[in-house]
């Protein structure tokens, strides 16, 4: 199923075709492709080249590891248990170089996941990021040390048809993609000043 973005300006097809599915096939992700995703994340830019990201990852083949990650999901995200890979992004909150707070850490983790997402799209894979997980359980269950913050759970895999979902979720899966009006988020040098005047 395609849900191509209807854009105001042309964008790369990898971005136009990207969306976050709920329905994942049980087809495993090849290990070389999984390696490519994480390599793309590794080469993302970051403030002072700190690379404040880490990724905890489990495949369905690692039943124990997968269950530990899945056990952190909120009930509303139980659909993610069908994905062949679950991942948790983690941010280091201080600069390794001087121990000071890195206020850009979450931003930089987002950049790394953005690179991972584009690589996934180029390989025919999809991902769905989730804020709906128990942060404290993740810290405890997954052994995340102090000074690191869990950021988002990520389900990764090949898309499946909406019919594989419970009926209540099929409508959400088929819904068209929407975005805020560009004028409400894109300003000139002053807040509220139109970037592209009419």
Tell me which residue has tokens 């983690």.
90
Q: What average pLDDT does the segment 82-94 reach?
A: 98
Q: What was the pLDDT predicted at 90?
A: 98
The span from the CA of 51 to the CA of 115, in Å, is 13
Burial 165-195 (b: 16+ CB within 10 A, else e): beeeebeebeeeeeeeeeeeeeeeeeeeeee
Spell out the domains of the chain, with CATH numbers in brackets: 13-161 (3.40.109.10)
Distance from C-alpha of 185 to C-alpha of 29, rounded to nearest angstrom: 36
Residue-wise pLDDT tens digits, 23-76: 999 999 999 999 999 999 999 999 999 999 999 999 999 999 999 999 999 999
């Amino acid at each position: 199923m395609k849900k191509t973005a209807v854009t105001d300006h042309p964008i790369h097809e990898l971005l136009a075709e990207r969306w976050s599915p709920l329905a994942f096939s049980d087809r495993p992700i090849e290990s070389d492709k999984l390696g490519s995703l994480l390599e793309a994340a590794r080469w993302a830019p970051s403030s002072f080249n700190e690379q404040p990201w880490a990724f905890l990852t489990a495949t369905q083949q690692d039943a124990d590891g997968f269950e530990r990650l899945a056990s952190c999901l909120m009930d509303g995200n139980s659909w993610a248990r069908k994905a062949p890979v679950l991942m948790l992004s983690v941010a280091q909150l201080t600069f390794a170089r001087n121990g000071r707070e890195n206020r850009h850490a979450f931003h930089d983790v987002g950049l790394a996941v953005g690179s991972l997402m584009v690589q996934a799209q180029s390989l025919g894979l999809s991902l769905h990021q989730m804020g709906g997980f128990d942060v404290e359980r993740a810290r405890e269950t997954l052994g995340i040390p102090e000074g690191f913050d869990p950021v988002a759970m990520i389900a990764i895999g090949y898309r499946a048809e909406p019919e594989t979902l419970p009926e209540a979720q099929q409508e959400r899966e088929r819904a068209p993609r929407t975005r805020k009006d560009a004028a409400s988020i894109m300003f000139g040098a002053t807040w509220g000043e139109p970037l592209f005047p009419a």
